[in-house]
Amino acid sequence: PRPILLTRHGESKDNVRGRIGGDTDLSDNGELYAKKLANFVEKRLKTERAASIWTSTLQRTILTASPIGGFPKIQWRALDEIYAGVCDGMTYEEIKKNMPEEYEARKKDKLRYRYPRGESYLDVIQRLEPVIIELERQRAPVVVISHQAVLRALYAYFADRPLKEIPHLEMPLHTIIEIQMGVTGVQEKRYKLMD
């Protein structure tokens, strides 16, 4: 059985500042994770010559993949983070203060809430369909380096979690979730490479 390895990008400079969205590069911590991830992947997939690394089109995932040697890398726009529209680049505190109705609406129904000029979780789930079809079709392992909201949706699909849980699933930084699909169902392992 072929594993699918899911991970968020290493900590970004916007993660440190608490800003959502954007397209910054990695913090020092994030760069360290990229190196540890490369080490892990190169060992784990040493004999898997057909494996591939999938990223979003955002710098933080591309930079997280960059130390990994020996496998082709593919960028998917569908793996980009949920787009926060007019709130892109803001902190949650700023949204709460400057757009309290938006903040409350999202809190009430995070799954369906769509940022003004941006996306909802349901939008993200929909745009992931071609990625899921392609993942299902792969015979070799795939490492998916993406973002919190997107990985919540992908994980929920493979782990068979209900739609309403998706926006609230825990998806920590610097952790690899390995999913194995076998005849007896789905097995999952987590590797926390650093804090």
15 annotated ligand binder: yes
Q: Which one of residues 4, 5, 6, 20 is an interface residue with ligand G3H (CB under 6 A)? A: 20
Catalytic (active site) residue 60? yes
30 binds ligand G3H (CB under 6 A): no
Contact between 105 and 113 under an 8 Å Cβ cutoff? The reply is: yes
**Who contacts 131 (Cβ-Cβ below 8 Å, separation ≥6)?**
54, 76, 78, 79, 154
Residue at 66: amino acid letter: S
The active-site residue out of 19, 81, 102, 174 is 81
CA 30 to chain centre: 14
Q: Which one of residues 9, 127, 147, 174 is an interface residue with ligand G3H (CB under 6 A)? A: 147
- Estimate the share of the chain in helix, then strand, then coil, as percent rounded to the nearest 5: 45, 20, 35
Q: Which one of residues 21, 27, 65, 83 is an interface residue with ligand G3H (CB under 6 A)? A: 21
**Rounded (5°) CA angle 185-188-194:** 170
- How many residues at the interface with ligand G3H, by CB under 6 A? 8
Rounded least distance, CB 88 to ligand G3H, Å: 9
Which two structure tokens, joined as six digits, stand for 91? 């902190």
| Nearest residue (CB) to ligand G3H, 111 versus 181 | 111
Rounded least distance, CB 147 to ligand G3H, Å: 6
Contact between 21 and 9 under an 8 Å Cβ cutoff? The reply is: no
Catalytic (active site) residue 168? no
Region of 32-40, 46-54, 127-135, 143-151 interacting with ligand G3H (CB under 6 A): 143-151
Residue 188 CA neighbour count, 13 Å, CB half: 11
12 annotated ligand binder: yes
Rounded least distance, CB 148 to ligand G3H, Å: 3
Residues marked as catalytic: 8-9, 15, 60, 81, 147
Contacts with ligand G3H, residue ranges (CB under 6 A): 20-21, 81-82, 147-149, 167
